[in-house]
Structure 1
Amino acid sequence: MNSLEKWGKNSMNHIYPTIVKKQTSAKKMLAVLIDPDKAHDQESLTPLLEKCQDSGVDFIFVGGSRVPEGYTEKAVNVIKEHTHIPVLLFPGHSNQISQKADALLFLSLISGRNPEFLIGHHIKAAPQLKKWGLESIPTGYILIDGGKITSVAAVSQTVPLPSDEPKLIANTALAGQFLGMKLIYLEAGSGALEAVSSQIIRQVKDELEIPLIVGGGINTADKAAWAWAAGADLIVMGNSLERKPALLEEVLRIKENYNNNL
């Protein structure tokens, strides 16, 4: 058996086809982002996970910009104890990986020029990912100015693309698609003061054929609705759901209404 056959046999690649199937049928998706640090406070995390399990959350993302080694796997274990929702790693470093996840967003920060976040961490993680056969989805990650300096910008030492340059952002996304990325992720950063604008989402979506993810600063049901309406296939919400658990129900109602009215 050659290496390609072995890779295909060991890799349970089903997450990306699921995303594409929903995208092509215009079904909107929601991912809840869990910071691995929160796994050490299961008392506060468990109610959110139970709400996710009992509702229409499509995926749970696990990751952060600054995560001590070992925390990612612990977070995945806690999540899997409470839900059957697919867990996707959203790593900010090559040590933020776990064999127990269902897939990994193989992020390349194409909005910046720091080689460590374009290819460096990927080289370090690749041998282990191959050994595990973990589904790894090439993702063009584009950081956009959300009105404050985010931990992503600080850790990656890159400057976000200006939010008043939608054409530049759209061209960056298109270049990512031509480079072979299977997803584009527009990110305003955790705790952003401003979410990615509808204009940016719409302009990027018009250029792409691959699925579009949007996250950062989506802290109200209205912002979620606007992002989906502008063309986001999948939106990501995190801190706002921990502060206001009822928000999850509001957003899921919007998602359900949207998908039922296709």
Structure 2
Amino acid sequence: MPDLLISIKQANRSLAVLIDPEKMPLDAVAAFAKAIPSTISSLKEKLQIDQFFFFVGGSSMENTGFDEWVKELKKHTDTTVVIFPGSPEQLSENADGLLFLSLLSGRNPEFLIEHQVDAARRLKETHLEIVPTGYLLIDGGKETAVQCVSKTLPLPQNNVENIVNHAYAAQLMGNQLVYLEAGSGAVKSVATEIVREVSAQINVPLIVGGGLRTIAQIEAIYKAGAKMVVVGTAIEENINWNG
């Protein structure tokens, strides 16, 4: 079993900061890496976080020097860097791991299998730790970049059973993680009821992200059963964000 997956399973609470290289110029990476530890320290204390990750990727970026960007980040941090890819172009041997995503909430074959086959061709000889991940886009109250790029609709939050069935199907298909995503800048995060019901039905670690802006929200998501929470926009807008 991969070390990354083991660490997520064994930790009580993991936190990841999602960084979109398209929104952070290469020459700003060093300053970000220098500033973020104080924020991490505060969040670890407030939320009793066991481990921390950087997730790196974006929905719409193309030809932005992804490999060089990841290499620059790794130069300035000892934190584990995991690729959260929006396309097969978002690959780098300089990262520590990769979530091999399948957008199972949608029905667009490009994001169900075509991108995955393209990526597989490039990943045959990689040293990256690859973790198959069922990715479910949940309605966050606004059209997100994932929705726009993938041309798929999110799952409505008022149909909890449908979301649970998608998550359970992701597990049955062999995915080792399930990710409930309300989308970057979501107006509303994934409801705790959904997190609770999904976590009760699957036995793989559950990741939840999108629209989380307060310590209280994140705490509720953990208590509902999430193994990992992902924060993006809040820290993107304020490097000193602490909930």
TM-score (norm 1): 0.84
Structure 2 distance, partners of 1:182, 1:155, is 25
Structure 2 distance, partners of 1:52, 1:103, is 21
Which aligned segments of 4 or more residues in structure 1 are displaced greater than 6 angstroms?
Answer: none
**Code of the aligned partner of 1:15:** L
Note if 1:176 corresponds to 2:208. Answer: no
Structure 1, residues 83-120: CA drift from partner, whole Å, max 9, x if none?
Answer: 10111000011111111110100000010111111111
Structure 1 residues 172 and 76: alpha-carbon distance in aligned structure 2, compared to 1, 3 A threshold: same
Which of 4, 20, 26 does residue 35 from structure 1 map onto? 20
Counterparts of 1:218-237 in structure 2, within 5 Å, are: 218-237=212-231
**Code of the aligned partner of 2:17:** V
Structure 1, residues 162-220: CA drift from partner, whole Å, max 9, x if none?
Answer: 01111110111001001100000000000000000101100100101000000010112
Counterparts of 1:1-262 in structure 2, within 5 Å, are: 13-22=2-11, 27-40=12-25, 42-43=27-28, 45-53=29-37, 55=41, 56=44, 58-248=52-242, 250=243
Structure 1, residues 47-90: CA drift from partner, whole Å, max 9, x if none?
Answer: 44234445356110001101122432122122112210111000
* Structure 1: segments with no counterpart, 5+ residues: 1-11, 251-262
Kindly indicate which of the two structures has a greater share of residues assigned to helix: 1
Cα RMSD (Å): 1.7
Which has the higher Rg, Structure 1 or Structure 2? 1
- 1:36 Cα deviation after fit: 1.2
- 1:37 Cα deviation after fit: 1.5
Between 187-196 and 49-58, the greater mean CA deviation after superposition: 49-58
Q: Is the 8 A contact 1:39 1:71 kept in 2?
A: no
Equivalent residue of 2:111, what SS? helix
- Residue correspondences, number: 233
* Structure 2: segments with no counterpart, 5+ residues: 45-50
Equivalent residue of 1:132, what SS? coil
Q: Percent identity?
A: 44
- 1:14 Cα deviation after fit: 1.7
